Amino acid sequence: MLSDEERAEIEAEMAHFEQKRAACVEALKIVQRRRGWVSDEALRELAPILEMSPDELDNVATFYNLIFRHPVGKHVILICDSVTCWIMGYPRIREHIASRIGAGLGGTSQDGMFTFLPIPCLGTCDTAPAMIVDETLFQHLDPEKVDRILDEVRGQGENGAGS
């Protein structure tokens, strides 16, 4: 069930638009920010508030790479797998991340700390290879830099500093 806080945030977003459905991406983000992902149940509850059908809202949710329709780990690593990143070292970075977190692409580490997903071009090809961890973009990746990033993110989780 949507919480009072979620409803209030969503209402505030909808107030910016003539049509409630125009706030659908923000509404999905609000739910995801609080729960980590958007379940079928949350989606069914959200759709009528936005004056959409659940199918319409699901189409929007599945279109956006940054809306998760399945449970994910505490932190989400999105690695660019488009052509420039491939040329600039994506396979090596992908394998390095997979071995560091113990989960391949599409998987979640056993401790629930990381989910590892592909994403198309991030629009930063001149600084490839690139990835996003949670909402932060990292560029010019090499294995040493990846190690530092993962250690820092893991440290944040352990210190309760959030993602």
- Min CB(128)–ligand FES separation in Å: 5
- Min CB(124)–ligand FES separation in Å: 5
CA torsion angle 161 144 124 155 (round to 10): -10
- Min CB(110)–ligand FES separation in Å: 28
The span of 16-24, 76-84, 93-101, 146-154 binding ligand FES (CB under 6 A) equals 76-84
49 versus 122: smaller Cβ distance to ligand FES: 122
CB count, 10 Å around CB of 25?
A: 16
Interactions with ligand FES, residue window 4-63 (CB under 6 A): none
Cβ-based burial of 102 (10 A; exposed 0-12, middle 13-18, buried ≥19): middle
Edge-to-edge strand ranges of the sheet holding 136-138: 114-119, 75-80, 131-133, 136-138
- Min CB(38)–ligand FES separation in Å: 26
Q: Is 141 in the site for ligand FES (CB under 6 A)?
A: no
Half-sphere exposure of 163 (CA within 13 A, CB side): 17
Residues whose CB falls within 8 Å of the CB of residue 44, separated by 6 or more in sequence, listed in order: 54
Interactions with ligand FES, residue window 115-134 (CB under 6 A): 121-122, 124-125, 128, 130
Which stretches of the chain bind ligand FES, using CB under 6 A? Answer: 80, 82-85, 121-122, 124-125, 128, 130
